[in-house]
Amino acid sequence: MLCQECQQRQATLHFTKIINGEKTEFHICDVCAKEKGEYIPGSNSFSIHQLLSGLLDFEQPKHYSETESKQRARESQCESCGMTYRQFAESGRFGCVKCYETFKKNLDPIFKRLHSGNTTHAGKIPKRKGKDLHIHRQIDELKQVLKEKIDQEEFEEAAELRDQIRSLQQSLDEKKEG
Amino acid sequence: MSLQRFIHEAISPWMKNEGPDSDIVLSSRIRLARNLEEHTFPVVTSNEDAEKLLNDVKKQINPTTSHRRFGDLSCLEMKSMDKNEKQVLVEKHLISPALAEKSPYGASILSEDESLSIMVNEEDHLRIQCLLSGFRLDEGLELANEIDDWLEERFTYAFDEQHGYMTSCPTNVGTGLRASVMMHLPALVVTQQMNRILPAIHQLGLAVRGIYGEGSEALGHLFQVSNQMTLGKSEEDIIGDLSSVVKQLVQQERAARESLLESSNNHIEDRVFRSYGTLAYSRRMESKEASQRLSDVRLGIDLGMIKNVSASILNELMVLTQPAFLQQYAGEALSPDERDQRRAALIRERLQLEAEKNQD
C-alpha cells in the first residue's frame, strides 16, 4: 500500500483514529510520519501526565469563587525544588519530597480520584526508615499523655513518662550518630 | 552469528522457563517505584544531581556486587550504549522507552538471568522490576520485596506515613506497585467476548492494554492486565485482586477454546495451519501480520494441533521480530522494507530450527 501523503513510498504506519465515533484510517510512510510527528500516536505518544494535568487543572477552583487560602495554595511554590503548583499541574509530577507538603491542601482530592477514594498508605513500611517512624509515633503519643498528666498534676507518673520519652529519644539520637 | 546463538543471547533466560498457566499467562511482572530522600525527583533534577545519584548507586552496586537470590548484578549505563542497543533492551521489556531516550544518566541494574532490572534515574530514582514466566505474581512480589529491603539497607527512601513511598507521579504514590500479567487470549477475541469483558475489567480498577497495539484489536491477541490503584491498599491485596481477575480470564479463555474446538474445529485447524504455512514460507512479513500468525500457531500448539514446535516460540519471535532485534541480527540499520524481508527470513529460519531439532 502506498503512503497516502506522498503517494510514493510504501506505507509502514497504519492506524485508526476514532473521535466521537467517527473513524479515520491513516496509512503513512516513515518519512511522512516523521514530518507529521505530532498527529501520529506512537511517534509522539500522548502520556499519562498530559491526561493527569487535565485532572490537576480541574482541581483548581475558578477564580471568582476562590477563597484566599486556596488561592495561596495555588500560588504556592516548593521551597526545596522551586516547583510551583502551576508547573506541577502542567507536568503532572512532583519535583521532590517537599512538594507533597507544599501542595498538601490540593492533593487529597487528587489522590481520592486516582486511588478510589483513598488518601492514606496502607501497604509496606520500610524496615529501616519505618522503625524510626514507629518510635516517632510512640514519642508523640507519650508526649500527649505527659501533657495530660501534668495538667492533672499527677507529677509522679509524668516523671516516669518523661524518662520513657527521653530513652526513646536517646535511642533515635544514637541511631543517627551510628 | 548463527541464529541459535543469537536467540540464546537475545532471549532473556527467565523467558525460557515455563510457569503456572503458561499456556495463557505468558509472563508476570512486578514493579516498585522508589525515590531517595536527599535528591530532587528526576523530572526536575539537574544533570549534576542525576550523575551524583548514579555514582552513589554505582558505589553500592558495582561489578563485584552479588545478591543471594539474583546472583551477580551488572550496571548498564545509557550513556555508554548506542541507540540500537538501548532499543533492544526496550524490546526485551527490561527498560522503558523513556529511560532509553531521555535519561542521560539513566542506567539499568541487571541480574544475570535478566529477571531483575532496576532502572536508575527514570521517572523515579529507582524502579525495581521483576519478570517471571507464567502466572507468578506472588513470587514476583516476594522477590521484588527482597530486593527492595536490600536496597533500603543502602539508601534512605522517601517515605512518610500518610503517603507511603513518595513517587514523582501521583498515580504511583503509596505502594509504588504496578503488577501486570501478559495474557494470550485468542479464543476470547475470536469468539468476540473480549469487547464485553474489557469494560468489566476497567470497572474493577484494573487496566487492560493490547501489547504493541491498542484496545481490543491487540496485536497477536496479547493483553497486559495491571492494577491502577496504588494508594490505600496493601501490596498483597492489590495482587490478590489482580490475581482473581486473571484466574477468571484464564478460565474463560480455556472455556472459549473448548467451545471453539467443539463448534468449529475444522475452521480453527485451517486457520492455525494456514498461519503456520505462511510463516514457514513467506518472503515478506510485516510485524502486524507476524504477530497475528504467531498467535494462531501458538494456539495450535496449545490445542495440540501442531506438535514438535516449542510453545515458547510465540514469546521468542514476538521479541526477535521487533525492529531493533532485526537490526542487531543483521548487524546494520535496516529500512522498513528490508525489515519485512529479514523478518520473514528469521521466522522461516527459526521454524527450520524446530524441524531439525525434532529430526535429531
Give tens-digit pLDDT for B39-49.
999 888 888 88
Question: What contacts A20, CB < 8 A, 6 or more positions away?
Answer: none
Residue B276 lies in a domain: yes
Question: In which band, very low, low, confident or very high, does the pLDDT at B127 lie, cut at 50, 70 and 90?
Answer: very high
Among A65-69, A149-153, B118-122, where is mean pLDDT lowest?
Answer: A65-69
Candidates B202, B31, B57, B166; CA nearest to B120 is: B57
Angle, helices B83-91 vs B323-330, to 10°: value is 130
The predicted model gives B59-75 an average pLDDT of 81
CA distance B13 to A76: 50
Give the distance from residue A176's alpha carbon to the nearest chain B alpha carbon, in angstroms.
Answer: 12
The predicted model gives A10-35 an average pLDDT of 74
Supply the mean pLDDT for chain A. Answer: 78
CA distance B139 to B162: 27
Binding-site residues on chain A for chain B (CB distance < 8 A): 10, 12, 14, 30, 41, 48-49, 52, 80-83, 91-97, 100, 107, 110-111, 114-130, 133, 137
3-state secondary structure B64-130: CCEECCCEEEEEEEHHHCCHHHHHHHHHCCCCCHHHHHHCCCCEEEEECCCCEEEEECCCCCEEEEE
CA distance A52 to A86: 13
Q: Tens of pLDDT along A56-83? A: 664 444 444 555 555 555 678 898 888 9
Q: Tens of pLDDT along A118-148? A: 999 988 989 887 777 778 778 888 999 999 9
- ipTM of the complex, rounded to two decimals: 0.82
Residue B47 lies in a domain: yes
Between B43, B171, B230, which is nearest A95 by CB? B43
Candidates B171, B189, B54; CA nearest to B109 is: B54
For residue B254, which amino acid is it?
R
Question: What's the pLDDT score for residue B163?
Answer: 93
Question: What's the pLDDT score for residue B215?
Answer: 42
Q: Hey, are the CB atoms on B145 and A124 less than 8 Å from each other?
A: yes
Which element (helix H / strand E) includes A105?
helix A104-114
The predicted model gives B172-188 an average pLDDT of 95
Percent of chain B with pLDDT over 70: 97
CA distance B151 to B127: 11
Residue B243 lies in a domain: no
Residue B133 lies in a domain: yes
Q: Hey, are the CB atoms on B157 and A129 less than 8 Å from each other?
A: yes
CA distance B101 to B118: 17
Q: Hey, are the CB atoms on A118 and B41 less than 8 Å from each other?
A: no
- B39 with B154, same domain: the answer is yes
Question: What's the pLDDT score for residue A105?
Answer: 85
Answer for the pair B268, B296: CB distance below 8 angstroms, yes or no: no
Among A30-34, A100-104, B32-36, B320-324, where is mean pLDDT lowest?
Answer: A30-34
Q: What φ, ψ does residue B18 adopt, rounded to 5°?
A: -100, 145
Angle, helices B235-281 vs B194-203, to 10°: value is 160
Name the residue of chain B whose CA is nearest to A16's CA.
B214
Q: How are strands ordered across the β-sheet holding B25-34?
A: B66-67, B71-77, B107-111, B116-120, B126-133, B25-34, B177-184, B222-227, B206-210
Residue B350 lies in a domain: yes
Question: What contacts B95, CB < 8 A, 6 or more positions away?
Answer: B86, B89, B106, B108, B117, B119, B122
Question: What's the pLDDT score for residue A42?
Answer: 45
Q: Tens of pLDDT along A25-54? A: 778 777 777 666 544 444 444 556 666 666
Question: In which band, very low, low, confident or very high, does the pLDDT at B35 lie, cut at 50, 70 and 90?
Answer: very high
- B270 with B161, same domain: the answer is no
Which chain B residues are Cβ-neighbours of A80 within 8 angstroms?
40
Question: In which band, very low, low, confident or very high, does the pLDDT at B343 lie, cut at 50, 70 and 90?
Answer: very high
B35, B38, B162, B326: best to mutate for the A interface, most A CBs within 10 A: B162
Q: Which of A42-56, A70-84, B89-103, B237-251 is predicted most confidently?
A: B237-251
Question: What's the pLDDT score for residue B216?
Answer: 42
Q: Helix (H, G, I), strand (E, B), or coil: what is residue A47?
A: coil
Question: What's the pLDDT score for residue A43?
Answer: 41
Among B111-120, B166-175, B318-327, where is mean pLDDT lowest?
Answer: B318-327
Q: Provide the greatest CA pair distance for chain B.
A: 64
Answer for the pair A98, B166: CB distance below 8 angstroms, yes or no: no
Between B40, B165, B235, which is nearest A96 by CB? B40
- B12 with B148, same domain: the answer is yes
H-only helix segments in A60-97: 68-75, 85-91
CA distance B340 to A12: 10
Question: In which band, very low, low, confident or very high, does the pLDDT at B254 lie, cut at 50, 70 and 90?
Answer: very high
Q: Tens of pLDDT along B208-234? A: 887 654 444 567 888 999 999 999 999
Question: What's the pLDDT score for residue A44?
Answer: 43
Answer for the pair B347, B303: CB distance below 8 angstroms, yes or no: no
Which chain B residues are Cβ-neighbours of A120 within 8 angstroms?
162, 231-232
Residue B116 lies in a domain: yes
Task: Show the domain range for B275.
Answer: 263-358
For residue A151, which amino acid is it?
D
Question: In which band, very low, low, confident or very high, does the pLDDT at B109 lie, cut at 50, 70 and 90?
Answer: very high
Give the distance from residue A14's alpha carbon to the nearest chain B alpha carbon, in angstroms.
Answer: 10
Question: What's the pLDDT score for residue A53?
Answer: 66
Between A48, A126, A137, which is nearest B157 by CB? A126
Which chain A residues are Cβ-neighbours of B44 within 8 angstroms?
81-83, 95-96
CA distance A76 to B311: 57
Higher pLDDT, A152 or A44: A152
Q: Tens of pLDDT along B278-297? A: 999 999 999 889 999 999 99
CATH number at residue B75: 3.30.590.10
Supply the mean pLDDT for chain B. Answer: 89
Question: What's the pLDDT score for residue B93?
Answer: 86
Which chain B residues are Cβ-neighbours of A85 within 8 angstroms?
none
Residue that terminates a domain, selected from B122, B141, B174:
B174
**Known binding-site positions of B for ATP:** 27-31, 93, 127, 178-182, 209-214
Which chain A residues are Cβ-neighbours of B336 within 8 angstroms?
10, 12, 30
Q: Hey, are the CB atoms on B235 and A117 less than 8 Å from each other?
A: no
Residue that terminates a domain, selected from B130, B155, B174:
B174
Name the residue of chain A whose CA is nearest to B32's CA.
A124
Under 8 Å CB pairs connecting chains A and B tally to 133
Q: Whole-angstrom distance between the N-terminal and C-terminal Cα of chain A? A: 70
Give the distance from residue B291's alpha carbon to the nearest chain A alpha carbon, in angstroms.
Answer: 15
A112, A115, A118, A120: best to mutate for the B interface, most B CBs within 10 A: A115
Q: Hey, are the CB atoms on A121 and B164 less than 8 Å from each other?
A: yes
Question: In which band, very low, low, confident or very high, does the pLDDT at B240 lie, cut at 50, 70 and 90?
Answer: very high
Question: In which band, very low, low, confident or very high, does the pLDDT at B25 lie, cut at 50, 70 and 90?
Answer: very high
- B301 with B154, same domain: the answer is no
Give the burial class of B355: count Cβ atoms within 10 A of its Cβ; 0-12 exposed, 13-18 middle, 19 or more buried.
exposed
Between A83, A115, A130, which is nearest B232 by CB? A115
The residues facing B66 across adjacent strands are: B72
Q: Hey, are the CB atoms on B233 and A10 less than 8 Å from each other?
A: no
Distances (CA, A) of A19 to A24, B210, B216, B285: 8, 19, 16, 30
Residue that terminates a domain, selected from B159, B174, B189:
B174
Q: How many domains does chain B have?
A: 2
Q: Whole-angstrom distance between the N-terminal and C-terminal Cα of chain B? A: 22
User: What is the DSSP secondary structure assignment for residue A11, as one 8-state letter?
Assistant: P
Residue B14 has pLDDT above 90, yes or no: no
Residue B138 lies in a domain: yes
The predicted model gives A88-99 an average pLDDT of 90
Query: Is pTM, for the whole model, over 0.95?
Result: no
Q: What is the DSSP string of A112-145?
A: HHHTTT--S--S---HHHHHHHHHHHHHHHHHHH
Question: What's the pLDDT score for residue A28?
Answer: 79
- B271 with B165, same domain: the answer is no
User: What is the DSSP secondary structure assignment for residue A10, as one 8-state letter?
Assistant: B
Answer for the pair B216, B198: CB distance below 8 angstroms, yes or no: yes
Residue B346 lies in a domain: yes
Q: Hey, are the CB atoms on A96 and B152 less than 8 Å from each other?
A: no
